[in-house]
Amino acid sequence: MTANAPIKVLIVDDSAVVRQVLVSILETDRNIRVIGYAIDPIFAMERMRKEWPDVIILDVEMPRMDGITFLRKIMAEHPTPVIICSSLTIKGTETCLQAMEAGAFTIFTKPTMGVKNFLSDAAHELLAAVKSAAGARISRLPPVRPLQKASAKFSADVVMEPGREAMTLTTDRFTAIGTSTGGTQALEYVLSNLPRTCPGIVVVQHMPEQFTAAFAKRLNDICEIEVREAKTGDRVIPGRALIAPGGKHLVVRRSGAQYVAEVISAPPVNRHCPSVDVLFRSVAKYAGSNALGVIMTGMGDDGARGLLEMRQAGAHTLAQDEATCVVFGMPKEAIKLGAADRIVPIQEIPGLISR
């Protein structure tokens, strides 16, 4: 893609309705050009021989070749940003996790019914995803950012008031991590490089609720530390990482000299549930200098203000550098606010957490 040239998009979906709606949405933006569509990957490959797209929007279940196989083929031969646009079902959760592993830029979930209205309502999110995908570093860490219907952009005030609670002395230390687009592979790298003796970890990764339990289980299978989806009452202890459940906010509170997770139902913050800002605010309020805050690859600005609150409360704070981010959105916004003590490549993050 050359400077100022429209983003070339190819749509691969066997549904005529979906293709029609996607084309109508994308063509509303003059910076995007739909170069064609295909009803399955075989036709798509023929189309791509004539003109290679900057971004591909891809369904999963299609005739002749499934989307995951096609995605793996693209990533092996010519890495290209791919947005998975698929109906999300419990059965399909494992398939979508395979898409993350294969290198999908993001997953855009559509319902099994009312697809046309849903896609139209989520047009802004789709256009934003295409533009971010076009500038992403796909050859680095393949990511996922599930897209959902836009909601009002609340701040963390809707969940928790700012300010610090009186704290008793404790030797407990832990790390809070926030990430979004690119975060699935980034988290896999960081958590799989931590020893069992590392401090406790709490994580917000933007994901729908059907994904987080399976995602945590997959990480638990490959990491030395314990990784699981957070539940209210879970202690934040060394050698354990708690992943915020999709559709719920995760906060950390003090219980005597210990830190305990609490899962909360509340409106989305920065259009996300779970929200990084909510987690980071709770850490600033109840842990202060006993915590390390880490903001990693992702679109948008969720977590930037929360990381600043952590730093102001005495916590050490890190932002992943641009060179190793798939999307340098969330870290960039945190850096602009002066929220990060240090800006570091992802390769240094496991060691800093351990120390």
Residue positions annotated with a catalytic role = 180, 206, 302
Cα 113 from Cα 320, distance rounded (Å): 39
- Could you give the 3-state DSSP secondary structure of residue 82? strand
Cα 151 from Cα 280, distance rounded (Å): 21
Token duo for residue 223: 């990491």
Identify residue 124 by its one-letter amino acid code.
H
Phi, psi for residue 57 in degrees, rounded to 5 = -105, 120
Q: How many CA atoms lie within 13 A of 266 on its CB side?
A: 21
Smallest CA-to-CA distance from 179 within 267, 304, 10, 335 is with 304
Cα 135 from Cα 328, distance rounded (Å): 10
Smallest CA-to-CA distance from 105 within 59, 78, 137, 128 is with 137
The angle subtended at Cα 245 by Cα 240 and Cα 250, nearest 5°, is 75
Smallest CA-to-CA distance from 186 within 340, 329, 327 is with 327
Is residue 219 within 8 Å of residue 241, measured between CB atoms?
Answer: yes
Cα 169 from Cα 244, distance rounded (Å): 26
> What stretch of H or E contains 8?
strand 7-12
Alpha-carbon separation of residue 242 from 6, 207, 279, 329 (angstroms): 41, 14, 12, 24
Question: Which residues, other chains included, contact 245 with Cβ-Cβ below 8 Å and sequence gap of 6+?
Answer: 209, 212, 213, 229, 230, 231, 263, 274
The angle subtended at Cα 233 by Cα 229 and Cα 237, nearest 5°, is 75
The angle subtended at Cα 76 by Cα 52 and Cα 220, nearest 5°, is 130
Smallest CA-to-CA distance from 219 within 199, 180, 198, 193 is with 193
